[in-house]
A and B are shown apart, each in its own frame.
Chain A
């Protein structure tokens, strides 16, 4: 992973996008490394999103053992959750559903 300052500046850039409500960096087991959300929301998102991402990754492998999930997008009426997994971490961005209108 990049140096701490470049991670921080990337996160600041993402968070400052209009429509972005929160950014989290989680370990694959769901611990939070960084979050722009307050502690209670951080705890909720960390647990729920890491489980969901693990499930999506597992489903991908079940359907094709040679394939590997690279991105997950869950759009609901109130927001959109995007998850990008990495070897060791999950990058989670929560944004308003109006952003990125294409499906």
Chain B
């Protein structure tokens, strides 16, 4: 089903270096699946933060053009990058981390 397709994709993604964690959340910010070594509280923190940011993005996109639909967001930072992919039912959140060059 849909969830197992998403999980297969994530299995492929997680072996890439730097992937710190991934999680699948519903649109309310509840964690449905998380990369096993990611703590439940960290996953919950990401889910809540990305739900918040997603709601804002969705509003911006729709304010600009009412029929438009959000596909994904990438938030790049000095030590990390978060990808949030939007699905009708889920948010798929992938977190990559690295050490900045000295």
- Known contacts A55-B53, A74-B57, A78-B68; is A66 also within 8 Å of B73 by CB? no
A2 to chain B, nearest CB (A): 23
Q: Are A71 and B74 within 8 A (Cβ)?
A: yes
A87 within 8 A of B: no
| A residues less than 8 Å from B83 (CB atoms) | 103
Considering only residues 62-91 of chain A, those with a C-beta below 8 Å from chain B are 62-64, 66-79, 81
Q: Which residue of B lies closest to A60 (CB)?
A: B77
| A residues less than 8 Å from B57 (CB atoms) | 52, 74
Q: Count residues of chain B with CB under 8 A from any CB of chain A.
A: 29
Total A-B Cβ pairs within 8 A: 85
Q: Are A63 and B69 within 8 A (Cβ)?
A: no
Q: Which residue of A lies closest to B81 (CB)?
A: A71
Q: Are B78 and A70 within 8 A (Cβ)?
A: yes
Q: Are A76 and B76 within 8 A (Cβ)?
A: no
A51 within 8 A of B: yes
Q: Are B61 and A70 within 8 A (Cβ)?
A: no
A3 to chain B, nearest CB (A): 28
Q: A67-B77, A68-B78 are in contact. List 17 more A-B contacts (CB 8 A).
A: A44-B64, A51-B56, A52-B57, A52-B60, A55-B56, A59-B50, A59-B52, A60-B77, A67-B78, A71-B75, A73-B73, A74-B70, A76-B61, A76-B69, A76-B70, A97-B71, A103-B74
